[in-house]
Amino acid sequence: MICKITVGRGFRGLVNYLFHGSKNESQDRGELICSNMAGSNPRELAHEFASFRQLRKSLGKAVFHSSISLRPEDRALSNEEFSEIAQAYLTRMGFEHCPFLVIRHHDTEHSHIHIVASRIKPDGSVVSDSNSFQRAECIMRDLETLYGLKPVAPSATADRKSKSRKEIQLNQKGTPTMKKELTDLIDQAIADSHDITDFIANLERLGILLCPHIQNGRVKGLIYKWRQAKMKASDLGKKYQWENLIQAVPYTDRDMIALNKRKRAEEKSSFTVALPEDVPPAYVREYRRMLLGDDYRKMLADLYGQELVDAKPKGKNLEIQLKQGKIIDAGESISVEDMEARVAAENMVKLAKAKGWNSIVISGSDDFIRHAMQEAIKSDMPVSPTDDKQRMLLEEAKAALAIAKRQNAQQEIREDQTGFELPKLNPLKIGEWTSYQDKKKKKDAEEAERLKKKKRYGW
């Protein structure tokens, strides 16, 4: 059996979807087979769940939702058996005293159930979601044995990540998913490679770019870029993560040269300045529409002057070629190709300011983020940090600019002071001036001559 878990906020929307679908297209989509609640329709059930939420108003995600699916080759289970499985599962997950309901769906080839429960117990305490995925896997393996079902390989040992609902639906229609196509191509590159350097080259021939995350000389993670999409190795499966990849493809010390080369190339092309996610869609559409107008190209010519080489459409984006590199303007985001971090930060923030953006989100290397934040502060453009690390970098950028501002002010004061007109010296007296050391030498010489005369003449 395959178990999936999500934790959310709203009971009513979820229960209504499980009973009737996303647009209420079916009155009997879901069959309620088990529950410890009094209600029988989404409205009544949501009202009961809401009464439990009052016991812990501060808890944001109070809804536990889990689906349990049979494999196509498994035997059919009755409603009673599914109910027993659901109750055993809830008890072992810690929901034995919580309100719950179990809904069975028959709209796919593989029979499955949905379990909805409140994380809030009658005494107001909360069911922990710590290690819930690992605990659920262990429970599924035990229940498979108990009910004579075919065991599913644990996720820790599976080469590929399990398919999502959308991927399953696409497979049923005979349409291969992007993840399936990508993993097939990576498998082909693995089979044809003698070492990691060969693997990187074979991926590039297949149109895939390997983006390694290297820290302290060690590979910490991999991202595969294909068809303008990025996929983490962990999203593809254990087989494609670094620890298992080097078991299939030999790794030598010289391979680190190729990995570092790919990292540097990726860093130069992964700088991005974008609008925050909460910007209304209407504004995003307007920024995209602006790319098509002649006025926008005139603005670019005024902004970059002789640095601008060309600006032409590329797909849905506008490709801006500068003498220092290339900028890709997607309307709501700006990225670069083959441009150094400091130069990229200056040009991208300048363009964001000219586009009329009120605030920006920055992504890329720490060096680029630091430069981009400094340029944004200089331009009075607010920056929206995405995490604690970026908040720290923003404070560092503000501090660095404050120090630079003080140093510039002090330098201006010194320049002003040295710019004062000094009193003119009398040219006749300049030659009579001597330093303190010269005066002391002259005085010492006169004293020595006096002592010499005194000794010779007795006075």
Express each pLDDT in 357-396 by its tens digit.
988 999 887 888 889 999 999 999 999 988 888 898 899 8
Give first-to-last CA distance, the chain, whole Å: 124
Q: For position 422, what pLDDT does the model report? A: 43
Q: Between the CA of residue 29 and those of 17, 80, 137, what are the distances in Å?
A: 9, 19, 27
The structural domain count of the chain equals: 4
Q: For position 413, what pLDDT does the model report? A: 65
Q: Note whether 226 and 309 are same-domain residues.
A: no
State which of 223, 247, 268 marks the end of a domain: 268
Answer whether residue 129 is part of any domain: yes
Q: Note whether 300 and 261 are same-domain residues.
A: no
Partners of 102 in the β-ladder: 34, 115
CB 213 within 8 A of CB 223: yes
Answer whether residue 249 is part of any domain: yes
This prediction's pTM: 0.44
Q: Note whether 239 and 214 are same-domain residues.
A: yes
What is the rounded average pLDDT for all residues in the chain? 83
Check whether 196 has a pLDDT greater than 90: yes
Query: DSSP letter string over 398-455?
Result: HHHHHHHHHHHHHHHHHHHHHTSPPPPPPHHHHTT---HHHHHHHHHHHHHHHHHHHH
Burial bucket for residue 416 (CB in 10 Å: 0-12, 13-18, 19+): exposed
Grade residue 431 by pLDDT with cuts at 50, 70 and 90.
Answer: very low
Q: Note whether 321 and 232 are same-domain residues.
A: no
Answer whether residue 413 is part of any domain: no
Describe the strand order of the beta sheet including 361-363 as a list of residue ranges. 308-314, 317-322, 325-329, 333-337, 272-274, 361-363
- pLDDT tens digits for range 240-276: 999 999 999 999 888 999 998 888 777 655 688 888 8
Q: Note whether 254 and 302 are same-domain residues.
A: no
Q: For position 430, what pLDDT does the model report? A: 41
Check whether 19 has a pLDDT greater than 90: no
Q: Note whether 181 and 140 are same-domain residues.
A: no
C-alpha angle 382-388-389 in degrees, rounded to nearest 5: 90
Answer whether residue 360 is part of any domain: yes
Q: For position 101, what pLDDT does the model report? A: 92
Taking residues 67-71, what's their average pLDDT?
88
Q: Note whether 210 and 228 are same-domain residues.
A: yes
Describe the strand order of the beta sheet including 218-226 as a list of residue ranges. 209-215, 218-226, 229-232
CA dist 94 and 209 (Å) reads 44
- pLDDT tens digits for range 105-114: 887 767 889 9
Q: For position 24, what pLDDT does the model report? A: 61
Answer whether residue 421 is part of any domain: no
Residue 31's domain is classified under what CATH number?
Answer: 3.30.930.30
Q: For position 347, what pLDDT does the model report? A: 92
Q: Note whether 353 and 219 are same-domain residues.
A: no
Taking residues 6-27, what's their average pLDDT?
79
Check whether 428 has a pLDDT greater than 80: no
Answer whether residue 411 is part of any domain: no
Q: For position 427, what pLDDT does the model report? A: 44
Answer whether residue 416 is part of any domain: no
* Share of residues in the chain with pLDDT > 70 (%): 85
Q: Which domain holds residue 199?
A: 174-268
Burial bucket for residue 221 (CB in 10 Å: 0-12, 13-18, 19+): middle
- The residue among 165 and 317 whose pLDDT is bigger is 317
CB 395 within 8 A of CB 374: no
Q: Note whether 387 and 434 are same-domain residues.
A: no
Q: Rg of the chain's alpha carbons, rounded to an integer?
A: 36
Q: Note whether 293 and 334 are same-domain residues.
A: yes
* Share of residues in the chain with pLDDT > 90 (%): 24
CA dist 446 and 16 (Å) reads 113
Q: For position 288, what pLDDT does the model report? A: 87
State which of 268, 302, 331 marks the end of a domain: 268
In the numeric block, the tokens 């000389």 are attached to 217
SS3 assignment, position 309: strand
Check whether 419 has a pLDDT greater than 60: no
CB 184 within 8 A of CB 237: no
- The residue among 163 and 129 whose pLDDT is bigger is 129
Q: Note whether 253 and 306 are same-domain residues.
A: no
Taking residues 123-132, what's their average pLDDT?
88
Q: Note whether 291 and 201 are same-domain residues.
A: no
Burial bucket for residue 374 (CB in 10 Å: 0-12, 13-18, 19+): buried
Answer whether residue 160 is part of any domain: no
State which of 252, 268, 284 marks the end of a domain: 268
Q: For position 235, what pLDDT does the model report? A: 86
